[in-house]
C-alpha cells in the first residue's frame, strides 16, 4: 500500500472515531437506544428499542457493527463496550418477538453476530439464533421467499442483506439457512437479477395465489431502470450466499451483478440514485450504493482471480472518492437518497425527502467495513463460513 493511500485511510479512520466518540459520550450520559437522524447523521436517544415499525426503525445494528469494527481497528475498548451495550438492549427483544419486517435482520447480524465473533459471548449467539427462528414469520411458503414486510405482496432485492446471521448459523445447524437459500433461489428464478447482470428491485405477488405478477421498482426511476442501491444489494446478497455455501451458482450471480456495476462505473466513481433517470445528473448520488459495492468488490477479488485486478482497481478508486468527497470530519457519509419511493402505500409513511438528499443508515456502516477490509488482511471476523 502506498503512503498517500494509507494517509487517506488513516485520516478517514480518525473521522469515524470522532463520530464514535460522540456516540459513546452520549451513551455514557443518557443510555437508551440510539436513533439515526437522517438530516445530520447524528443520533438521538429513545427509551426503548423499536422492533415492529418500519417508520420508526432506529438502525441500531449498523451503528453497533460500525463500533465493533472500530474496536478491532483501534483496539479502543470503549467502542467494544458501547457496541455490547447496544446488543444487550436489542438482543433479548429480537429473541422474543416474531419478525414483522425484514430489516431487523440487520440488527441480528451487524450487532449480535459480529459481537459474538469478536467477544465469543454465548448470549449474543443465542439471541442471533432465536432471532433467526423468529425471522421465519415473514417467510411466505407459497411465494417461497421472505416478504419485505409481514403481509406485503412483494419480494425485494434488498432482503439478501438481512439474511447473513442465518447463513452464519448454518455452520452449527445447517437447517438454519434453509429458508435463506430458498429465498435467494427464488430471487434468481423470478429475475430480480436480469440477464445482463443489472437488478430489478421488486417482484409483485398475487394476493391469493402468491404467484409473481410482474417486476417493478419501488425506489428507482422506472420499472425497467437500474436502481443504484439495488445493484449493491444484488452483489451483497449473493456474495453472502456464496461465502456461506461455496455454491458456484451464487458466485456466478454475484459476479454478474458486479460485472454490471464495474462496467457502468460513472465519472467520479459514485453513482446517482438510478443509472437510467434522464435527469440523474441533477438528482442525488447514492453514496451508500458505492460503499456497499466497494466492500463486495474487495471480497469478490479474492474469489475471482481473473477479475481481481479490475475489481480491486474500481474498489480503490471508489473508496478514494468516498473518503475524499463524501465523508465528513465527524465520520458521516453524505449524499445519499432513499430514491423516488414510487409506490407509496395508503396509510404508510413516505421515507426520505427525494429529490433532496438524506443521510442514509447504510453508508455509515459500509464505509467502516471498507476501511476494515482495506486495512486488515484477516477478515475472519466477518466471515460467514468460519474462514478468513
The 10 Å CB-count burial string (b at 16+, else e) for 310-332 is bbeebbbebbbbbbeebbeebbb
Task: Evaluate if residue 350 carries a pLDDT over 80.
Answer: no
Q: What is the mean pLDDT of the chain?
A: 95
pLDDT at 349: 52
Task: Check: CB of residue 295 under 8 Å from CB of residue 369.
Answer: yes
- Residue 301: CB atoms within 10 Å: 19
What does the pLDDT read at residue 357? Answer: 86
Fill in the DSSP letter of residue 154: E
pLDDT classification of 30: cutoffs 50, 70, 90: confident
pLDDT digits (tens, 9 = 90+) for 50-103: 999 888 899 999 999 999 999 999 999 999 999 999 999 999 999 999 999 999
Residue 45's DSSP bridge partners are: 34
Length of the chain (residues): 388
> How does pLDDT run across 250-302, given as a tens digit for each residue?
999 999 999 999 999 999 999 999 999 999 999 999 999 999 999 999 999 99
What confidence score (pLDDT) does residue 388 get?
A: 63
How high is the pLDDT of residue 255?
A: 98
Q: Does pTM surpass 0.85?
A: yes
Ordered by where they begin, the domains of the chain are 3-382 (1.50.10.10)
pLDDT-based confidence at residue 342 (cuts at 50, 70, 90): low
> Which tens digit of pLDDT belongs to each residue from 104-149?
999 999 999 999 999 999 999 999 999 999 999 999 999 999 999 9
Amino acid at each position: 500500500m502506498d503512503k498517500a493511500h494509507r494517509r487517506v485511510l488513516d485520516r478517514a479512520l480518525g473521522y469515524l472515531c470522532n463520530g464514535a466518540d460522540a456516540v459513546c459520550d452520549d451513551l455514557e450520559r443518557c443510555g437508551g437506544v440510539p436513533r439515526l437522524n437522517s438530516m445530520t447523521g447524528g443520533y438521538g436517544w429513545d427509551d426503548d428499542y423499536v422492533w415492529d415499525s418500519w417508520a420508526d426503525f432506529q438502525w441500531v445494528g449498523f451503528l453497533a457493527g460500525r463500533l465493533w469494527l472500530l474496536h478491532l481497528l483501534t483496539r479502543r475498548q470503549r467502542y467494544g463496550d458501547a457496541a455490547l451495550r447496544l446488543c444487550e438492549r436489542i438482543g433479548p427483544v429480537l429473541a422474543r418477538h416474531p419478525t414483522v419486517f425484514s430489516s431487523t435482520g440487520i440488527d441480528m447480524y451487524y450487532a449480535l453476530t459480529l459481537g459474538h465473533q469478536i467477544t465469543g459471548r454465548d448470549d449474543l449467539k443465542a439471541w442471533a439464533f432465536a432471532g433467526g427462528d423468529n425471522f421465519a414469520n415473514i417467510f411466505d411458503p407459497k411465494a417461497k421467499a421472505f416478504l419485505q414486510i409481514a403481509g406485503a405482496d412483494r419480494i425485494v432485492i434488498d432482503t439478501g442483506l438481512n439474511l447473513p446471521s442465518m447463513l452464519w448459523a448454518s455452520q452449527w445447524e445447517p437447517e438454519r439457512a434453509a429458508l435463506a437459500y430458498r429465498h435467494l433461489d427464488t430471487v434468481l428464478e423470478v429475475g430480480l437479477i436480469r440477464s445482463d447482470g443489472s437488478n430489478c428491485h421488486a417482484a409483485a405477488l398475487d394476493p391469493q395465489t402468491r404467484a409473481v405478477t410482474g417486476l417493478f421498482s419501488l425506489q428507482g426511476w422506472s420499472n425497467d431502470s437500474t436502481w443504484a442501491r439495488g445493484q449493491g444489494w444484488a452483489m451483497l446478497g449473493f456474495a453472502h450466499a456464496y461465502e456461506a455455501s461455496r455454491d458456484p451458482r451464487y458466485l456466478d450471480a454475484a459476479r454478474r451483478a458486479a460485472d454490471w456495476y464495474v462496467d457502468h462505473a460513472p465519472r467520479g466513481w459514485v453513482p446517482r440514485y438510478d443509472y437510467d433517470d434522464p435527469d440523474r445528473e441533477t438528482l442525488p448520488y447514492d453514496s451508500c450504493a458505492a460503499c456497499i459495492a466497494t466492500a463486495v468488490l474487495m471480497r469478490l477479488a479474492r474469489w475471482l482471480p481473473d477479475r481481481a485486478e479490475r475489481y480491486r482497481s474500481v474498489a480503490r478508486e471508489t473508496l478514494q472518492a468516498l473518503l475524499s468527497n463524501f465523508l465528513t470530519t465527524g465520520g458521516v457519509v453524505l449524499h445519499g437518497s432513499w430514491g423516488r419511493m414510487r409506490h407509496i402505500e395508503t396509510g404508510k409513511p413516505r421515507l426520505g425527502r427525494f429529490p433532496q438528499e438524506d443521510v442514509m443508515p447504510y453508508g455509515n456502516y459500509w464505509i467502516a467495513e471498507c476501511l476494515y477490509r482495506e486495512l486488515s488482511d484477516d477478515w475472519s471476523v466477518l466471515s460467514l463460513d468460519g474462514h478468513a
